Every structure is written in structure tokens, then in C-alpha cells.
Amino acid sequence: MSQAVFYHNPDSIYDDDPASKYHFPKSYLSRVKKTLDDWIVYYGPMEHEKGRFYSAIARTSHIEPDPRKTDHYYVFLKDYIDFDRPLHYRENGGYEKKLFKENGLPNGGYTQQSVRHLEFNEFRAIVEAGFSEEDEWPTRTDFTPAGDRELPGLGEGAQSPISGMFVERPIVQQIVNRPFREAKFRQHIRRLYDRTCAFTSLRLINGKGRPEVEAAHIIPVESGGNDSVQNGIALSGTVHWMFDRGLLSLTDDYQILASRHLNYDVSHLLNADMKAIVPEERSKRPHADYLSWHRRERFKA
């Protein structure tokens, strides 16, 4: 097993869904095989930023050939989670040493590789930086269970460096820990939607600055949903309740759908144009596949 970087461009010709599958040509098959059941870091351009960035991690599961395209494959993924912020590949002197020549210039041949293996200390440094931002509005029940060691920036409360030799197990325990992932998902969705309900435009803040808005999974985790921001949307409590029960849903172009099973008219609660407010960045908006699942499996039309 080996950690690796997977290059991903939101405008790529490849059939990627970063949270669930990565599409690649046969030339990278041997490298991808070495990552199976280990962690990968996504790397690539951002829509409104110059440069290349590390943006998320996931764990590889298994490989299948592409049934429609010769000499192409899919590697399927699990445990996807976005970083708190995109990390520029040059920050802190660069996370991958092979990306740079001795004179500090980019190593052109290496930067062109769409799949490249990471040293564990490089992977560790990227993950530490990727999850280093504390939640501005933590829920008081957020916690890390006793016995789990925390990476700097990966827990709530005071932070301190890890002393002694760093081993892999603590990092794996933390990033697959459900309370940690729920807290990060909530943090990312609330920030992305500016603490505002996408269906009502309500932005209710309590006296200590904590928002009322909740982070809703489109496909619930218990139904196989992931923690990508594309599987999330910010909703006020009542709207979240209706969305989870299939009384509200969304079209692929973010029109709000109200179920005929509602026993009262809720239109006065919703945006006047019956359209959800979504992020400007396309790669952060609710994914069409997840919305389709919600309409098919949850929505009471």
C-alpha cells in the first residue's frame, strides 16, 4: 500500500466523481494498484484561483475496467472528505519535494504525472495543513473520543505538537472517526453557504455567533452517502427535517420541489423564486447524481 496524489481537473474529459470514482488510462494502472486500501490526496486547479492546490483526501477501494473505453479504468473510493481550505502546492516551501528542482523551479516532468506516490511524511504534512482550521462556530457536543490521539489542528480545543515518533494509526483513526467527519462536514457547509439556508435565505445567528443553519447530507451517510460538500446543502432546522423526509427536494438546476403530500402550504417559508441558493463555484454545488438519488429514493412526488 502507498499514499499517492491524484490529479483532478473539474473540467477534465475523464469521467470522475472525486468522492466516489477516479477515471484513468492504463499507463497509470500499476501505480494506482499500489494505492489500494490506502489514502490519496486530490491535487489540481481551482475555478477562481491560479496555480495548483491539494483539496481533499479519499481512500481507494477497488479497480474495474471501463466497459465503454478501451485501456481505461476506474478506481472506486470511500471516506472522501474535503480539506478546510485548498493548499497551494508551493506553500511552506512545497509539500512534495520531487515537485521542485534544486533551484526551486517546478520539476516539469514530475508535475505532469497524474498519479504520483507520496512519502508518508509528505502525506502527513498535507493532511495536517488541510485540517488545521478550527471551526468558527463549533457545536458544543463536538468531541474526539478518549483514546484517539489528535493531529495538530484535527481536534477541538487547545492544540499541541505530537511528541515522539509519528505513526500512521493515529491519523487514520482521526480521519475516519465519525464525530470528526461530521464536525468537519458541518464546518465546510456552513462556511460555503455563509451560514444561510439555501431554501429560505434565512441567516439566524445566536448571541455567541453560532448559526442556526444545519449541514444536510443529500444522500445520508447511513444510505451510502459521502462527506463531500457536493453531497451537502445548508438548511434551517425545519427545512432540513422536510428534506430528509422527502417533503422537499431539488431539480438538477436547483429548483425547489414541494411534495403534494405536504398537508400545508410552505411556499411562504421558501425563496420567492422557488430556487435554492448554491455556491458560485460549480465544483462545490450539489452534485446532479446525488440530487437524482434524493428525488428517486426520498422525494414523495
Q: Among candidates 211, 184, 181, which has minimal Cα distance to 197?
A: 211
Provide the pLDDT confidence category of residue 10 given band limits of 50, 70 and 90: confident
pLDDT beyond 60 at 296: yes
Q: Where in the chain is the domain with CATH 3.10.590.10?
A: 4-130
Q: pLDDT digit string (tens) for 122-171?
A: 999 999 999 999 998 887 554 444 444 444 444 433 333 333 334 455 67
Strand, helix or coil for residue 220: coil
Coil vs helix vs strand at 173: helix
> 152-161 long-range contacts, Cβ below 8 Å, gap at least 24?
152/128, 153/128, 153/129, 154/128, 154/180, 155/180, 156/183
> In this prediction, what percent of the chain has a pLDDT beyond 90?
72
Return phi, psi of residue 208, to 5°. Answer: -100, 15
Provide φ and ψ at 212, rounded to 5°: -80, -25
Tell me if residue 118 falls in helix, strand or coil. coil
Q: In three state form, how does the secondary structure of 216-244 look? A: EECCCHHHCCCECHHHEEEECHHHHHHHH
Radius of gyration (C-alpha) of the chain in whole angstroms:
20
List, for residues 244-258, the tens digit of each pLDDT value. 999 999 999 999 999
CATH topology of domain 4-130: ph1033 like fold (3.10.590)
Pairing of strands 21-25, 39-46: unpaired
Tell me which residue has cell 473505453: 69
Any idea which residue has 504534512 for its cell? 125
Distance separating alpha carbons of residues 58 and 45, to the nearest angstrom: 18
| Polymer length in residues for the chain | 301
For residue 15, what pLDDT band results from cuts at 50, 70 and 90?
very high
C-alpha cell recorded at residue 270: 421558501
Mean pLDDT over each residue of the chain, to the nearest integer: 88
